[in-house]
Structure formats: C-alpha cells, structure tokens
Amino acid sequence: MYKDVTITINGEEYQEHIPVRLLLVDFIRDVAGLTGTHVGCTYEGVCGACTIQIDSEAVKSCLMLAVQADGHEVATVEGLAQDGKLHPLQEEFNEHHALQCGYCTPGILMNAEEFLKENPDPSEDEIREALIGNLCRCTGYVNIVTAIKSAAEKMA
C-alpha cells in the first residue's frame, strides 16, 4: 500500500513514504506543496492544467501515479524562472497578455517550454497543434500563440 520514493522536483530531492495510489499531481501539490500545477479534469486527462515535465518531457501529472516518478526529475512551473530571472515564455506571456485567470497557464508554459526545444522556430499552425493538450477558456488562444512565437524569437 505504501512505497518509499525519491522524486526530484525542480532540483530538490523529496524522499517520501507514500501510498501507491497517490497521483503525481497530488504529490506535487500536497506533499511538495507546489501548488502552481493545477487540476481541471476528473479522470479524463484532457485539460492539460496539470502539465509538468518528467526528465524534460511534458506530461500530464494527473495521469501518473507518484510512484511512477520515483527516481525521475520533475520540473514544474515554480522552477521555470532561474535565479530570479523569468523565462522568456513567462515574460512574453505577460507582455502579450496571454493569460487571464491564469489557471491554464502553468501547464501551457511547461508544455511550450519543451515544445520550443523541439521546434525553436514554429509557425502559428505548429504552435496551435502543440497546444491541443492544453485547454484555455479565457483567452481564445490568440495571445498565447503570439506570446509563444515571440518567446521563440527571443530565445533564438
């Protein structure tokens, strides 16, 4: 019923004794207390608000058990800014008003961060495709697309 795990989140190691059934998203939010990662689904895993990275790949943390992340590196939105300096994506989201309520934002940032590594110079259509796993109800996506494009240019 319980397992010992070692999960590194944003470079910090968490050694915990946890129920096998504990969802990774609850480990992140409730055990590590990193509440930037959000939940928007019951079980379907469609909204993407819980998107984090495992070993630098974007995944939905509501569709994983914490035990599956044992021994892996997790990155969440809290780790995106480095040494107090915002990531270009964070800056461009602010610059272009790519968020309103901000509930979807952490998941989008974590997905986009990996996406831009894979495709540093994406077209608008490619960005829109890359966002399929992240629903946003406030913005109509227009400014999110602009912000990601602009971050790509800044990072080039």
Partner 1 sequence: MTDTEAGKGWLGRKLKRKEDYRLTTGKGNFIGDIQLPGMLHLVFVRSLHAHAKIVNIDTSAAEELKGVVAVIAGKQLAEEILLMPQPIVVPNIPANHPTFGPLAIGKVKFHGEPVAAIVARDKYVAEDAAELVMVDYEMLPYVGDMEAALAPDATRVHEQFDDNIQYESSLTGGEEIADQEANDVRVAKIFEEADLVVKRRYRCHRCGVTPMEPRGVVADWDHAEGLSAWITTQRPHIDRLALSDILSIPAEQVRVMAPRDQGGAFGTKAPFYREPILICHMARKLGRPVRWIESREEHLMSISQERDQIHDLEIAARSDGRILALRDRIIADGGDGCEGVYWGYLMPFLGAVLLPSGYDIPNCDIKLKVAFTNKAVLSPARSFGSYPARFAMERAMHTVARELGLEPTAVQRMNLVTEFPYTTATGFNYDSGNFIKVLDNLVEKIDLTGFRREQEEARKQGRYLGIGFGLGAEASGMASEVLVQMENQPGYGAAMVRVDPRGKVQVCDGDCSQGQGHETTVAQVVAHEMGISPDDVKHSQGDTDNTPFGCGTIGARAGSYKLSAVAQACRHIKEKMSRIAAHDFSVSAKPEDFDFIDGEIIYRKDTNIRTTFAELAYRIVMTPLDLPEGEEAGLEHTAYFEAAMPMICFAAHAAIVEVDATTGQFEIKRYMTSEDMGRVINPQIVDGQITGGVVQGISNCIFEEFVYDDTGQQLTSTLENYKLATAADVPHVEVTHAPTPCPYTPLGSRGIGEGVPGPVPGALSNAVTDALEPLGVEITELPLRPNVIWKLIQQNRQAAE
Partner 2 sequence: MYPSVIDNYVRPKSVDEAIAAIVDGGEDAMFIAGGMSLMQAIKSRLVSPSCLVDLQDVSEIKGISSDDTGLRIGAMTRYREMANADKLRGAYGALVDAAAHVGDRQVRNRGTIGGSLCWNYIAACTPAACLGIGASVELVSRTGAKRTLVADDFLGSPLETAREDNEILVAVTLPTPEPNTGSAYKKWGLVADALPVVGVAVLVQTDAAGICLRARVAFSGLGDGPCRSAAAEQVLIGARADETSKIGEAFEAAAAELEVQADMWADEDYRRLLMRELGKEVTATAFNRAETGS
Ligand X SMILES: Cc1cc2nc3c(=O)[nH]c(=O)nc-3n(C[C@H](O)[C@H](O)[C@H](O)COP(=O)(O)OP(=O)(O)OC[C@H]3O[C@@H](n4cnc5c(N)ncnc54)[C@H](O)[C@@H]3O)c2cc1C
Q: Could you give the CA distance from residue 6 to residue 124 in angstroms, rounded to a whole number? A: 39
Assign 3-class secondary structure to 59-128. EEHHHCEHHHHCCCEEECHHHCCECCECCHHHHHHHHCCCCCCCCCHHHHHHHHHHHHHHCCCCCHHHHH
Task: Give the one entry of ligand FES, ligand X, partner 1, none that residue 88 binds, where binding means its C-beta sits below a cut-off of 5 to 8 angstroms depending on kind.
Answer: none
Q: Which residues bind partner 2 (CB under 8 A)?
A: 1, 3, 19-21, 23, 42-45, 48, 51, 57-60, 62-65, 67-68, 70, 111, 115, 129-130, 132-134
Task: Give the one entry of ligand X, partner 2, partner 1, none that residue 156 binds, where binding means its C-beta sits below a cut-off of 5 to 8 angstroms depending on kind.
Answer: none
Tokens representing residue 78 in the block: 């809290």
Task: Give the one entry of partner 1, ligand FES, partner 2, none that residue 97 binds, where binding means its C-beta sits below a cut-off of 5 to 8 angstroms depending on kind.
Answer: partner 1
Coil, helix or strand at residue 77: helix
User: In the complex, what is the shortest distance from the CB of residue 125 to partner 1, in angstroms, rounded to a whole number?
Assistant: 8
User: In the complex, what is the shortest distance from the CB of residue 11 to ligand FES, in angstroms, rounded to a whole number?
Assistant: 23
C-beta closer to partner 1: residue 71 or 124? 124
Task: Give the one entry of partner 2, ligand FES, ligand X, none that residue 137 binds, where binding means its C-beta sits below a cut-off of 5 to 8 angstroms depending on kind.
Answer: ligand FES
Size of the site for ligand FES (CB under 6 A): 22
Q: First and final CA of the chain: distance in angstroms?
A: 48
Tokens representing residue 90 in the block: 């964070």
Residue 63's Cβ-count burial label (10 Å; 0-12, 13-18, 19+) is middle
C-beta closer to ligand FES: residue 48 or 88? 48
Beta bridge partners of 82: 85
Q: Which residues of the shown chain bind ligand FES in the complex (CB under 6 A)?
A: 39-41, 45-50, 60, 62, 99-105, 136-139
